Structure 1
């Protein structure tokens, strides 16, 4: 199935946003969609439908699923993936948009990479800061609940971007607003926590 302009924009935004939360699951879902012909992937993303790439993404998605449920391990995983999720999100969006833009593909690819990287950075920062704040609580249930929300949100938003883009756009705007508030609240909380710890340590 070929994408129309609205679906293309929606899916590009969804890829950038989802990459900041669950990069490997995003790669796997896009690869599966292309492999079975549900979406006609542009040349820049056709490699994702390779069985080898899908198998690798599936293994890493399982590892991420498990690591994301364990307090402190989840924050270490997020810290490591600061260097991976954002450029990967930019590359995915650039590969999607650049292949559909014709003669202006390179220019639009750069614009798409900037926007995709920005969405991935926003989602990743919100996830990492929220999980770091949750790790200050001794109970593990909040970590698991937050992780499960991400597990459900990524495939749901990718599906909505493809099947119901006009529903996807307001949900994405709401998600970004919530994430911006969470980033501000979590950084404020973590900064206050660091100050309290410093005061309690003898000079």
Structure 2
């Protein structure tokens, strides 16, 4: 269950770096649902919550505008995987991922949770970054706010499921994979007169 929690959070970070971090911080700060491990309490500090809130608003706005969303995705290539590593490690509730001594950290296996989180978030981010320009081109940019809102909703849903009912993470990830596959097939079909938003097959 801890692994599902961590995997759900890092997957959410691949869609939106700030939603899972903000969810963890807020739940630790104001509820008893989350208790961050030693070394990760800074996620629930007031200044960090405010910073994450501001960054989330900027991310949401930038991700709704065609072309700007693709530029933002490139800029987030380092941020989202890094956030994935943070939320995976803190989601596991393990104190071994606290980097107080870098030499000891990399000499053992303490870096593994962070690396797993980075990898999961990076894969999700790359899928998002690759798919978004295709959707924008096929819909002349009209899909950007819709797709972005769906991604934000998925990130929030994954974060909530990871904390409240981790088994749902598997269901949600499977549903997202099926949905992305369906969209990819739909956008690859030849354009018909009744569906001008679909790209022509070339």
TM-score, length-scaled by structure 2 = 0.77
Moved over 6 A (4+): 182-185
User: Who is 1:66 aligned against?
Assistant: 61
| Residues 82-161 of structure 1 mapped to structure 2, 5 A cutoff | 82-97=77-92, 99=94, 109-137=110-138, 139-161=140-162
> Which of 28, 36, 48 is the equivalent residue of 1:34?
28
Larger RCO, structures 1/2 (Cα 8 Å, 6+ apart): 2
1 or 2, which has the higher helix percentage? 1
Distance in 2 of aligned mates of 1:42 and 1:108? 18
Distance in 2 of aligned mates of 1:60 and 1:83? 15
Question: How big is the shift at 1:145?
Answer: 1.0
Structure 1 gaps, min length 5:
1-5, 197-203
Distance in 1 of aligned mates of 2:110 and 2:175? 26
Structure 2 gaps, min length 5:
98-104, 190-198
Whether the 8 Å CA contact 1:126–1:183 is kept in 2: the answer is no
Question: How big is the shift at 1:100?
Answer: 5.2
Whether the 8 Å CA contact 1:93–1:116 is kept in 2: the answer is yes
Q: Against the structure 1 CA distance between its residues 165 and 74, is the aligned structure 2 distance closer, same or farther, given a 3 Å change threshold? A: same
Q: Against the structure 1 CA distance between its residues 112 and 53, is the aligned structure 2 distance closer, same or farther, given a 3 Å change threshold? A: same
Whether the 8 Å CA contact 2:20–2:87 is kept in 1: the answer is no
**More divergent stretch after superposition (44-53 vs 136-145):** 136-145
**More divergent stretch after superposition (24-33 vs 49-58):** 24-33
* Paired residue total: 181
Q: Deviations over 1:105-151 (max 9, x none)?
A: x6564222222112101210111111111222463331111001011
